[in-house]
Amino acid sequence: MGQAADIIIHNARILTMDEASPVAQAIAIAGNRILAVGDDAEIQALGTSATRIVDAAGATVMPGFNEAHMHIFGGSVGLGELSLFQLKGFDALKAKVRDYAAKNPELPLLVAQSADYTILSEEERVTRHHLDRIIPDRPFLMFSPDHHTAWANTIALEKAGILHGRDVGVGNEIVMGDDGLATGELRESNAIRPVSGMSATGGREGLGVGTGGDPNHVTPEERAGDIEVIKRGLAYCASHGITSLQNMDGSLYQLEMLQEIEDTTGLPVRVRMPYHMKNFMPLSDLQEKAAVWRERFDSDKLRCDFVKMFMDGVTEGETAVFVDDYSHKPGWKGEPLFSAEHFNRVAVEADRLGLPIAVHAIGDGAVRMVLDGYDAAQQENGRSDRRNRIEHIEVVHPDDVARFAATGTIASMQPTHPPGSAGLPLEPYLTYIGRERWPHAFAWKALKDAGATVVFSTDWPVSPLPPLSCIRDAMTRKPWADDMPDHRLTLEETLTAYTRTGAWVEFMEDRKGMLKPGYLVDVVILSADIHSVSHEAIADIPVRMTICDGRITHEAA
């Protein structure tokens, strides 16, 4: 007599993501391991009177989603802030901000998220003067969806001490006006942090991605508050069917809080985090910190086993690095955050230590520099199964497409990011990169067809979190012009990029990312059969239940 099942899910359209046995009707779960996957009759025989039986009513059951690139602390904080997603025009902005300000009289800094670069109009860039007309007497900060740009009103700039400008280092900029004062536009984290640090959380949620550092002084009350915020964010992830997330913030502060959650109430989502290597950090940090964190955080629930870096910024902020000039700005290609020589040294050393690398590279120039670094590491240390990745790859030079497969580099991309998708405006993006580069922008299908491994995510809070929306966007992407390539992927390809491939990227393909006997119980039950609805409607399917590590982490009312 075999082991009895704790939970049986039957009458389901199970997508196992296991090529050897792709579909089934039922699944039996015991503890945190999958007992069996098969047809209704054979699985139901494993039940006892104590088994919970879940009738899926013909809906899709599949491995939980692996959100391969996101920012849990910033996203969690943002859940309580003002969202300007898809909002357009001065009057609408004014109404939203004033309403939020009235409802939150105690906040030291009012923060808004997801403001499009063209929130006012296609032509007009936001300045502090616009924001002063909305709210003159309380500090206000508004983030672009990508978080690489923010806009502040005059009182916020004054209180932060940057109204008269300040040197904030390469790749960062407090944009100055003809009057010698800051315009209100702040580019990249060093420029934004003086203002964001005035918020209720002290800007602590931005440190991991911004500086790779940790807060200096945190009171026990502040830390307890931060933990509660992160718990809300994790519950939000579970409610959307996520069972694994890769939090791209490198931060010991966050790792320790997540460990405390795991040790007390248990993490409802598996978390993987990197060590964040900035250009001012010594090479020895890889051995003395990154490799040490890897030993310390090494469970199936929480691990820190790779290195995150930034090679450039974003196109809209003119901080992305291109092979050729920006189309609207002759003579400007962007400035990389690492010299080629410096990056190659880091890549070689990380590779020597067995640490995979994930590098933010938006422009084709930055992408090329990262591929060059991965090449250098392989030449120096020999080829090994390192599963290095490049994040975003908004534009790839045609000469570099085949190099992904050649170097074994993973393309980590966000189907929610192309301008025109997910409510994002086309401008200024299309003008900045110019028509000749459009065919090579967000080219996930070209990369996939050339043999690259593609993994998907939303980069939350840059884009909305729900994986089913992201999956819809990957399948329904509209070209920017009739003669542009079609980058739509099939449902199977897209689901694979959100499940099995995510597990493979984490070196955990032997125990998650598929539904098969012996695997960890990371399961999502949808409330419809994903094959029976139109591609557009996939985003509207509610998640009925999420199970992570054998524990029910979300159940729809």
Question: Among residue numbers 252 through 311, which ones bind Zn ion (CB under 5 A)?
Answer: none
Q: Does 312 bind Zn ion (CB under 5 A)?
A: no
CB nearer to Zn ion: give 128 or 417: 417
CB of 189 to Zn ion, least distance (A): 12
CB nearer to Zn ion: give 111 or 248: 248
Element (H, E) at 65: strand 65-70
Q: What is 124-149 written as a DSSP string? A: PPP-HHHHHHH-SSS-EEEE-TTSSE
Residues 267/258, Cβ–Cβ less than 8 Å? yes
CB of 69 to Zn ion, least distance (A): 6
CB nearer to Zn ion: give 364 or 459: 459
Strand-strand pairing, 270-276 and 302-310: parallel
Which of 459, 473, 493, 522 touches Zn ion (CB under 5 A)?
459
- Tell me, by CB under 5 A, how many residues bind Zn ion: 2
CB of 74 to Zn ion, least distance (A): 9
Q: What is 385-423 written as a DSSP string? A: ----EEEE-SB--GGGHHHHHHHT-EEEE-TT-STTSTT
Query: Which residue of this chain has its Cβ atom nearest to Zn ion in the complex?
Result: 459
CB nearer to Zn ion: give 198 or 248: 248
CB of 505 to Zn ion, least distance (A): 15
CB nearer to Zn ion: give 116 or 459: 459
Long-range Cβ contact pairs of 119-123 (< 8 A, separation 24 or more): 119/84, 119/87, 119/88, 119/89, 119/93, 120/89, 120/90, 120/93, 121/89, 122/425, 122/427
- 45 three-class SS: coil
145: tokens are: 């969806």
Which stretch in 152-160, 234-242, 455-463, 474-482 sits in contact with Zn ion by CB under 5 A? Answer: 455-463
CB of 391 to Zn ion, least distance (A): 7
| Sheet of strand 26-30, all strands in order from the earlier edge strand to the far edge | 33-38, 26-30, 7-10, 52-55
CB nearer to Zn ion: give 71 or 294: 71
Strand-strand pairing, 82-83 and 65-70: unpaired
Which stretch in 130-138, 158-166, 244-252, 403-411 sits in contact with Zn ion by CB under 5 A? Answer: 244-252
Residues 195/157, Cβ–Cβ less than 8 Å? yes
CB of 336 to Zn ion, least distance (A): 18
Strand-strand pairing, 26-30 and 7-10: antiparallel
CB nearer to Zn ion: give 150 or 248: 248
Q: Which of 364, 377, 444, 381 is nearest to 407 (CA)?
A: 377
Which stretch in 301-309, 458-466, 497-505, 511-519 sits in contact with Zn ion by CB under 5 A? Answer: 458-466
CB of 248 to Zn ion, least distance (A): 5
CB of 143 to Zn ion, least distance (A): 13
Residue ranges that bind Zn ion, judged by CB under 5 A: 248, 459
